[in-house]
């Protein structure tokens, strides 16, 4: 599963307002509710599983990337959203640098292989410096979505 399969233009936040990882997670989850990707009544339990996973170890993997993720039985297909912060978010990253790109995704409970495969594909793509820079410099959500869709599929 590639990033373009998970994130549509409506699921991109080109100007994330959050200043830390907890605010970023809430902001992205609220965006998924606003776009109809998750139900409003599922907000708190989904936020709880994402934050529980994040508490065990930060998903700030370095290079300005945060990939908060979790499995939940409240969804039936992989769901995600991408947020971009121009000023950076304190994510307790492995390299102690602020995060500019927050890619939150959720996988249905019990789909462990899909979860790992999705995480690996997203991380591989976001580790490409040219791809990250293109997303960071894109004008708006539509431009960011084009960049995602034009990215070569991970093998």
What span, in angstroms and rounded, lies between the C-alpha atoms of 111 and 97?
A: 31
What span, in angstroms and rounded, lies between the C-alpha atoms of 114 and 94?
A: 24
What is the per-residue DSSP string for 56-111?
Answer: HS--EEETTEE--EEEETT-SS-EEEEEEEEEEEB---TTSPPEEEEEEEEEETT-
Question: Catalytic one among 31, 42, 69, 127?
Answer: 69
69 included as an active-site residue: yes
What span, in angstroms and rounded, lies between the C-alpha atoms of 128 and 73?
A: 32
Residues with catalytic roles:
69
């Amino acid at each position: 599963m590639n990033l373009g399969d998970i994130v549509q233009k409506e699921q991109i936040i080109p100007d994330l307002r959050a200043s830390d990882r907890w605010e970023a997670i809430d902001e992205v989850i609220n965006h998924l509710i606003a776009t109809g990707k998750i139900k409003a009544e599922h907000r708190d339990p989904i936020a709880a599983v994402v934050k529980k996973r994040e508490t065990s170890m930060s998903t700030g993997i370095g290079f300005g990337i945060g990939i908060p993720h979790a499995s939940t039985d409240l969804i039936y297909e992989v769901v995600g959203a991408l947020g971009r912060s121009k000023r950076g978010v304190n994510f307790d990253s492995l390299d102690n640098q602020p995060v500019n790109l927050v890619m939150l995704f959720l996988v249905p409970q019990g789909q462990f292989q899909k979860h790992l495969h999705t995480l690996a594909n997203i991380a591989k793509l976001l580790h490409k410096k040219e791809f990250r820079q293109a997303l960071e410099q894109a004008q708006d959500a539509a431009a960011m979505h084009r960049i995602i869709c034009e990215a070569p599929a991970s093998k």
